[in-house]
Structure 1
Amino acid sequence: MNTTPLQQVIDRVRGVYGSWRRDTGVTRMREDWEALFAPREEIALSHFTLGGVDVAWVIASGADASGAAAPDADSARTLVYFHGGGFRVGSVRSHCELMWHLSRAAGCRVLGVDYRLAPEHAHPAPLHDALAVYRALLAGGVEAGDIALAGDSAGGNIVLNLLLQLRDTGEPMPARAVLMSAWTDLAATGESYQTRAGADPIHQQRMIQSMAAGYLGVAVSPEDPAVSPLYAPLHDLPPLLLQVGDAETVLDDSRLFAQRAQAAGGAATLSVYPHMIHVFQQFMHDLPEAREAIDEAGAFLRDGWH
Structure 2
Amino acid sequence: MSDRVFPDPYPASEELHALVARLRAAPFKADTKTVTELRENFERFASGFRDIPSSTRFEPVDDAEVQLEWTIATGASSDFVVLYFHGGGYSIGSIDSYRDHCARLSAMTGARVLSVGYRLAPEHRYPAALDDARTSYEWLLEQGILPERILLAGDSAGGGLALATLVALRDASLPLPSGAVLLSPLTDMAHTGASVQERAHLDPIVTPKGSHSYSTRYLGEDGDFDLPYASPVYADLDGLPPVLVVVGTEELLFDDSVRVVRKIKDAGGSAELDVWPNMIHIFPFFASQIPESQRAMEHIARFIRERLGLGQNGTTR
TM over 0.5, yes or no?
yes
Amino acid in the other structure paired with 1:221: D
Alpha-carbon distance, 1:44 to partner: 3.6
Residue of structure 2 in register with 1:35 after alignment: 44
Would the aligned equivalents of 2:228 and 2:234 in 1 still touch at CA under 8 Å? yes
Alpha-carbon distance, 1:181 to partner: 0.3
- Residue 285 (structure 2) aligned to one of 282, 286, 302: 282
Query: In structure 1, the residue corresponding to 2:97 is in which secondary structure?
Result: coil
Residue of structure 2 in register with 1:5 after alignment: 15
Would the aligned equivalents of 2:30 and 2:213 in 1 still touch at CA under 8 Å? no
Against the structure 1 CA distance between its residues 19 and 228, is the aligned structure 2 distance closer, same or farther, given a 3 Å change threshold?
closer
Would the aligned equivalents of 2:243 and 2:270 in 1 still touch at CA under 8 Å? yes
Amino acid in the other structure paired with 2:18: Q
Amino acid in the other structure paired with 1:236: G
- Residue 170 (structure 2) aligned to one of 143, 167, 170: 167
Give the paired residue count: 293
Residue ranges of structure 2 left out of the alignment (5+ in a row) = 1-12, 310-317
Residue ranges of structure 1 left out of the alignment (5+ in a row) = 62-71
Residue of structure 2 in register with 1:69 after alignment: none
Residue of structure 2 in register with 1:227 after alignment: 230
Q: Distance in 2 between matches of 1:233 and 1:20?
A: 30
Residue of structure 2 in register with 1:244 after alignment: 247
Q: Distance in 1 between matches of 2:44 and 2:23?
A: 11
Residue of structure 1 in register with 2:103 after alignment: 100
Alpha-carbon distance, 1:289 to partner: 1.6
Q: Distance in 1 between matches of 2:252 and 2:291?
A: 22
Alpha-carbon distance, 1:203 to partner: 1.2
Alpha-carbon distance, 1:282 to partner: 1.2
Alpha-carbon distance, 1:266 to partner: 0.7
Amino acid in the other structure paired with 1:268: A
Alpha-carbon distance, 1:10 to partner: 1.4
Would the aligned equivalents of 2:30 and 2:210 in 1 still touch at CA under 8 Å? no
Residue of structure 2 in register with 1:130 after alignment: 133
Q: Superposition pairs for residues 205-220 of structure 1, below 5 Å?
A: 205-220=208-223
Would the aligned equivalents of 1:16 and 1:36 in 2 still touch at CA under 8 Å? no
Q: Superposition pairs for residues 27-106 of structure 1, below 5 Å?
A: 27-38=36-47, 39-41=50-52, 42=54, 44-61=57-74, 72-106=75-109
Q: Distance in 2 between matches of 1:303 and 1:263?
A: 23
Amino acid in the other structure paired with 2:113: V
User: What per-residue deviation string (whole Å, max 9, x for no partner) do you get for residues 72-106 of structure 1?
Assistant: 11110000000000111101111111111111221
What TM-score results when the alignment is normalised by the length of structure 2? 0.88
Would the aligned equivalents of 2:180 and 2:244 in 1 still touch at CA under 8 Å? yes
Q: Distance in 1 between matches of 2:81 and 2:28?
A: 37
- Residue 25 (structure 1) aligned to one of 34, 51, 61: 34
Q: Distance in 2 between matches of 1:209 and 1:224?
A: 15
Would the aligned equivalents of 2:188 and 2:232 in 1 still touch at CA under 8 Å? yes
Against the structure 1 CA distance between its residues 268 and 55, is the aligned structure 2 distance closer, same or farther, given a 3 Å change threshold?
same
Would the aligned equivalents of 1:127 and 1:161 in 2 still touch at CA under 8 Å? yes
Alpha-carbon distance, 1:141 to partner: 0.9
Alpha-carbon distance, 1:50 to partner: 4.8
Amino acid in the other structure paired with 2:38: M
Q: Distance in 2 between matches of 1:19 and 1:115?
A: 23
Q: Distance in 1 between matches of 2:23 and 2:95?
A: 19
Against the structure 1 CA distance between its residues 210 and 282, is the aligned structure 2 distance closer, same or farther, given a 3 Å change threshold?
same
Alpha-carbon distance, 1:219 to partner: 4.8
Alpha-carbon distance, 1:157 to partner: 1.2
- Residue 109 (structure 1) aligned to one of 94, 107, 112: 112
Alpha-carbon distance, 1:45 to partner: 2.0
Q: Superposition pairs for residues 190-201 of structure 1, below 5 Å?
A: 190-201=193-204
Amino acid in the other structure paired with 2:80: R
Amino acid in the other structure paired with 2:51: R
